[in-house]
Amino acid sequence: MKNLETLSHGVLDLVQEAVIETTRDFRVTGWNRGAQRIYGWTPQEALGREVRELLRSEIEDAERARMIRDLDEHGHVFTLARQQTRSGDTIEVEASVVPLRGEGGAITGYLSVSRDVSLRRRLETRLEETRHLELVARLAGGIAHDLNTLLTAILGYADLTLADPGLPGGLAADIEQISSAARRAGELTTQLVAFSRGQVLAPRDVDLDEVVANSLPARKRIAGRKVQFLDVPAPALTLVHIDPGQLQRVLLDIVANAAEAMPEGGRVSFETEHEGRFARLRITDTGTGMSEETVQRAFEPFFTTKRGHTGLGLSSAHGIINQSGGRVELASEEGAGTTVTLSLPLTDA
C-alpha cells in the first residue's frame, strides 16, 4: 500500500483512469487525480471513507459478495457499473479490480482501475437506434411497394367502373368513396417511400413564406373552423432549397397534429425569420401539449399516442427537412401548447 501511496504523487497522477486502493473492508487508502477528476472527491476527502459511500454504486449486497468471492478465487474481476459523482451526476464506468496481498499471501485490500464510459455507451445506444431505424425504413419501403401495386389495381378497376354509363347513381357514389380512400392510402405510401429512401424527390429554390401562404386553404380544411391561423412572414425574401410539395406535406402534418391537440379550437401561428444562414419557421399551437416522454419519442416512426394514426407524420417531416440540410426541433409542455421549429439553410440566390 505504501508503494501505491508513493506512486500516487507521481506516475499514478498521470493516469486518466480512476485508480483506487482500499482495505479489505473497502475503505479508501489510495486515491489518484484520475479518481478526483471522474468522481469529484479530493484525496483528502476520500481517504478513510468507504468506497461505496463515495461512488454510490448501484450494486446489491449479493452482487458485491459474489465479486469478493470471485476476487478470492480468480484474482480479478471486470465489471460495468452505474455510479454517481460528488455532484450527483450518474455515470457508467468500466472497472477492473484485483486483490492486494500481504507477505503471507493473505488478501489485505483491493486495487481498482475505472474509466468513465458514459459517452461511449450513449454513442453505442444512438448507433443501435440508427440501425433499428434503417431496418424499419427497409420494411416500410417493402410495404409501400407492395401496397402501391394493390392500390394501382383498386384505382384502375374503380375508374373503369365509374366510366360505365349504365352505373346506378348510388353505386357510383360508393365507388367514389372507394377511390377516395385508395388515393388517401396512396398518400400514405408516398410518405413510406420518402421515409425508406431517405431522399427529397424534386428540390428547388422556393420562397418559404410563399409555400406557407399557399398552404393556408389546405390548412383551414384540415383544421376546421374552430382553429384560427396567424401568419407572420419574414420581412425579407426567404429562399430555401427543398421540394415545395414535400414541404407543404410537412406543414399539413404538423397542422393536423395541432388541430387534434385543440378539440375545442385554438390558434396556430406560422412565424418566419432569418437567423444567420438559416430561415426559421416556428409553428406554435395553443393545444394541450405533450409530456416529456412523448416529446422524446415524437420523431420515432410509427410512434403515436392516438388511435387510428400511423405515427409517420413527424418522422417523415424529420426526414424531409434533414435531407434538405435543415433540422426539426420540438418544444412542448403539458397544458402549454407545442412549438415545432423548421430550420432550413437559405440559398445563395
The torsion angles phi and psi of 322, rounded to 5 degrees, stand at -60, -40
Contact 77, 67 (CB under 8 A): yes
The torsion angles phi and psi of 45, rounded to 5 degrees, stand at -75, -30
**Domain final position from 171, 197, 223:** 197
**Residues making up the chain, counted from first to last:** 349
User: Same domain for 135 and 111?
Assistant: no
Joined grid coordinates for residue 270: 406560422
Q: Is 104 exposed, middle or buried (0-12, 13-18, 19+ CB in 10 A)?
A: exposed
Q: Is 86 exposed, middle or buried (0-12, 13-18, 19+ CB in 10 A)?
A: middle
The torsion angles phi and psi of 283, rounded to 5 degrees, stand at -110, 110
CA dihedral 306, 309, 314, 316 (to 10 degrees): 160
What pLDDT does residue 235 have?
86
User: Same domain for 324 and 217?
Assistant: yes
What pLDDT does residue 179 have?
81
Q: Is 257 exposed, middle or buried (0-12, 13-18, 19+ CB in 10 A)?
A: buried
- The sign of the torsion formed by the CA atoms of 37, 39, 44, 47 equals negative
User: Same domain for 60 and 148?
Assistant: no
What pLDDT does residue 40 have?
92
pLDDT tens, the chain, 349 aa long: 444 554 545 667 777 889 999 998 889 999 998 999 999 999 999 999 998 889 887 666 667 778 878 887 788 888 888 888 998 888 999 989 999 888 888 888 899 999 999 888 888 888 887 777 677 667 766 777 677 778 888 888 888 888 888 888 778 888 888 887 887 777 667 666 665 555 556 788 999 999 999 888 888 888 888 899 999 998 887 899 888 888 888 898 888 888 888 888 899 999 999 888 899 999 999 988 888 877 887 777 655 655 545 445 677 777 788 888 888 888 988 888 899 999 998 986 5
User: Same domain for 264 and 312?
Assistant: yes
Considering its fold, how many domains does the chain have in total?
3
**Domain final position from 81, 97, 116:** 116
What pLDDT does residue 302 have?
57
**Domain final position from 197, 220, 244:** 197
- The sign of the torsion formed by the CA atoms of 272, 275, 277, 283 equals negative
Joined grid coordinates for residue 162: 365509374
Task: Quick: pLDDT tens for 154-198.
Answer: 888 888 888 888 888 778 888 888 887 887 777 667 666 665 555
Distance CA 177, CA 305 (A): 28
CATH classification of the domain holding 271: 3.30.565.10
CATH classification of the domain holding 36: 3.30.450.20
User: Same domain for 210 and 170?
Assistant: no
What domain range includes position 67? 2-116
Straight-line distance from the first to the last Cα atom of the chain, in angstroms, rounded to the nearest whole number: 71
User: Same domain for 237 and 128?
Assistant: no
User: Same domain for 162 and 270?
Assistant: no
Distance CA 346, CA 326 (A): 10
User: Same domain for 110 and 231?
Assistant: no
User: Same domain for 101 and 150?
Assistant: no
What pLDDT does residue 66 have?
80
Contact 178, 236 (CB under 8 A): no
Distance CA 54, CA 86 (A): 7
Q: Which of 3, 6, 57, 54 is nearest to 28 (CA)?
A: 54
What pLDDT does residue 308 have?
46
CA 136-140-146 angle, to 5 degrees, is 150
Note the pTM of the prediction, 2 decimals.
0.47
CATH classification of the domain holding 133: 1.10.287
Three-class DSSP labels, 39-105: HCCCHHHHCCCEHHHHHCCCCCHHHHHHHHHHHHHHCCEEEEEEEECCCCCEEEEEEEEEEEECCCC
Q: Which of 60, 82, 64, 80 is nearest to 72 (CA)?
A: 64
What pLDDT does residue 1 have?
42
User: Same domain for 22 and 101?
Assistant: yes
Distance CA 114, CA 57 (A): 13
Residue listed under C-alpha cell 464510459? 117
Joined grid coordinates for residue 281: 419557421
User: Same domain for 145 and 171?
Assistant: yes
User: Same domain for 147 and 54?
Assistant: no
